[in-house]
Amino acid sequence: MRTFSFSFPFLLTSYSTAVSATAYFITVFAPGTEVDGTLLNAAGQGFYAGTSGPATYCPPSVKSCPQVGGTLVYAGLTGMAVEVPGGQAIYVAPSGQVSYTAAHSSSSPPGSTVGGWFNKTVVSDCEPSRDVLDYSFGGVKVCPDVAAFMAGTGASYQLYVGTQGFNLTDCIDAVGLSLKPAPADVGCWQYI
């Protein structure tokens, strides 16, 4: 267990943790909506609310596949927390869909962007302050526009951000995404 202490003239703060997380679960922070606190799972190169878990794959040639630990990402949504060589990057498609690359590939659609995420602190009179991840160019949105191939999976909303090419309606504007520390460094071999 690590303990960190910071001392200032009239303030002493201590922080203890049993796990030093490098990977995080993603939840939606949208107070007062039906999606607030909803866990997002990776499936079909997108992030969805309502599924029972992520879509993953581990080839038979891998002798020791990691136990699937949910959809895990690295801080700042820089990539998926996977074991596959080369990893899987997270990008924003021109349509605003937040997606991730296929395993062993850095390819994304023309006009896609990597990055643009920033941390912000949400301050409320009624709740404790909270750090969330937001998107620089138009905010975080969850939309009921779920791909047809996801029918029957329970997927109810898909993660998007505001881009110049974003044109969906009936979306919920989220305040941001909460990153919750995970107990593992990887979520799976690869997400599909």
Residue 62 lies in a domain: yes
Evaluate whether 98 touches 46 at the Cβ level (below 8 Å): yes
Residue 184 lies in a domain: yes
Q: State yes or no: pLDDT of 79 exceeds 50.
A: yes
Q: State yes or no: pLDDT of 5 exceeds 60.
A: no
pLDDT tens digit sequence for 149-159:
999 999 999 99
* Predicted local distance difference test score (pLDDT) of residue 125: 87
Residue 9 lies in a domain: no
* Predicted local distance difference test score (pLDDT) of residue 126: 85
Residue 3 lies in a domain: no
Lowest mean pLDDT among 7-11, 30-34, 154-158: 7-11
Lowest mean pLDDT among 75-84, 123-132, 155-164, 167-176: 123-132
* Predicted local distance difference test score (pLDDT) of residue 127: 83
Q: Per-residue pLDDT averaged across 86-111, rounded? A: 95
Evaluate whether 1 touches 17 at the Cβ level (below 8 Å): yes
Residue 37 lies in a domain: yes
Residue 51 belongs to domain spanning: 18-191
Angstrom distance (rounded) from CA 79 to CA 17: 24
- Structure confidence at residue 21 as a pLDDT band (50, 70, 90): low
Residue 1 lies in a domain: no
* Predicted local distance difference test score (pLDDT) of residue 124: 85
Residue 13 lies in a domain: no
The first and second tokens of residue 93, run together, are 């498609």
Residue 10 lies in a domain: no
pLDDT tens digit sequence for 90-100:
999 999 999 99
Over its C-alpha atoms, the chain yields an Rg (Å, rounded) of: 18
Q: Per-residue pLDDT averaged across 110-135, rounded? A: 93
Q: Taking the CB of residue 61, how many other CB atoms lie within 10 A of it?
A: 5
Contacts of 25 (CB under 8 A, 6+ apart): 39, 70, 71, 72, 179, 180, 182
Number of domains in the chain: 1
- Structure confidence at residue 15 as a pLDDT band (50, 70, 90): very low
